[in-house]
Amino acid sequence: MMWTTCLIFMFLLAGENCLHIEPLEGPWIVETNSRDYIDLTCTFAFNSSEIKQLDVKWYFQDGAQPFIQWVPSTGREPQSIGEKWGNRLELTHTAGNGSFSQRVRIHKPGSQFSGQYECKVSTFLIEKRSKLNLIIYDPGEGPKLRYHTAEDGYVNISCSAKSVYPEPLLHLTWNYGQSGDEVTKTTVRRGLEYDVTVHRLLPPTDLPPETVFSCSMEIPSTQFSLREETMYFPGRIQPRASQVRNIHNFLIKIIKFVISRCSSFTEWHVRLLTVQG
């Protein structure tokens, strides 16, 4: 009888709860070094009887321990927990009529802060959670497309990307869309960053002189995409883009030098004819 009475009492008491939490606000996709900071905001509403019971905790990547804790009734400011965050966090909150909004500002957001964020608000009898998955991607370096002719005559085309997060997808194509399944992929991970290379050996008979090699790099779950293309020159080693630019600049200098000399010669020749005349 006593247990039944307690259960009915708790049910009636719980029925008076109006704790409600809004979807966690913040960006979903951010490029590294594109912003000075990002804001995540947790907004929740409650009734007057719950204000002294409120306990707010923030979790990262399903961690067992919160990295932020706040008990509004104590009058103290929210506290960050753990060395991972250092001085990157700025915690503020605003109060409304029966509601709170807590803002977590992350300064200089890098890829190490990518992951799932969760705001949990609880009272003695109920808890509410709101989550947001944040991707802070790093495009790194790439894609870089290269080819060379091996000793056996086959053409080795390769594409690489370095220091990218999360792991990128590289696609090799030639002849405007032709690709194959026999592509060799090498992946090296250093911390959060990925170095990825794909390459393919092709017989020269499959590659007419006008063949265009192409490599595209995509970062999953983002709209980031880059493409590099180069034309195939049979029997030659592909010059690097930097080498092409240097040759181009060198030729321009030669042309300017020749023009200046020709101008000087023409002017001298005209003067000579004038004197002789």
Domain end (from 108, 137, 166):
137
In a domain, 232, yes or no: yes
Cα–Cα distance, 137 to 159 (Å, whole number):
20
Residues 178 and 194 in one domain: yes
Residues 68 and 22 in one domain: yes
Residues 21 and 131 in one domain: yes
pLDDT (tens digit, 9 = 90+) per residue, 28-46? Answer: 999 999 999 999 999 999 9
Average pLDDT, the chain: 81
* 106: Cα separation from own chain's centroid: 16
Residues 102 and 150 in one domain: no
Residues 169 and 80 in one domain: no
pLDDT (tens digit, 9 = 90+) per residue, 63-79? Answer: 889 999 999 999 888 99
Indicate the number of domains in the chain.
Answer: 2
Residues 119 and 37 in one domain: yes
In a domain, 95, yes or no: yes
Domain end (from 89, 110, 137):
137
Contacts of 204 (CB under 8 A, 6+ apart): 149, 153, 154, 155, 234
Using 50, 70 and 90 to split pLDDT, how confident is the model at 252? low
In a domain, 266, yes or no: no
In a domain, 156, yes or no: yes
Residues 26 and 95 in one domain: yes
Using 50, 70 and 90 to split pLDDT, how confident is the model at 237? low
Contacts of 112 (CB under 8 A, 6+ apart): 84, 192
In a domain, 208, yes or no: yes
Residues 153 and 207 in one domain: yes
Domain that residue 179 falls in:
141-237
Domain end (from 107, 137, 167):
137
In a domain, 60, yes or no: yes
Residue 67, number of CB atoms within 10 A of its CB:
19
In a domain, 2, yes or no: no
Using 50, 70 and 90 to split pLDDT, how confident is the model at 180? low
Using 50, 70 and 90 to split pLDDT, how confident is the model at 272? very low
SS (H, E, C) the chain: CHHHHHHHHHHHHHHCCCCEECCCECCCEEECCCCCEEEEEEEEECCCCCCCCCEEEEEECCCCCCCEEECHHHCCCCEECCCCCCCCEEEEEEEECCEEEEEEEEECCCHHHCEEEEEEEECCCCEEEEEEEEEEEECCEEEEEEEEECCCCCEEEEEEEEEEECCCEEEEEECCCECCCCCEEEEEEECCEEEEEEEEEECHHHCCCCCEEEEEEECCCCCCEEEEEEECCCCCCCCCHHHHHHHHHHHHHHHHHHHHHHHHHHHHHHHHHHHHC
What pTM does this model have?
0.74
Residue 90, pLDDT score: 93
Whether 97 shows a pLDDT value over 50: the answer reads: yes
Residues 155 and 119 in one domain: no
Where residue 229 sits, what CATH number does that domain have? 2.60.40.10
* 176: Cα separation from own chain's centroid: 28
Residues 124 and 153 in one domain: no
Residues 216 and 127 in one domain: no
In a domain, 90, yes or no: yes
Residues 80 and 24 in one domain: yes
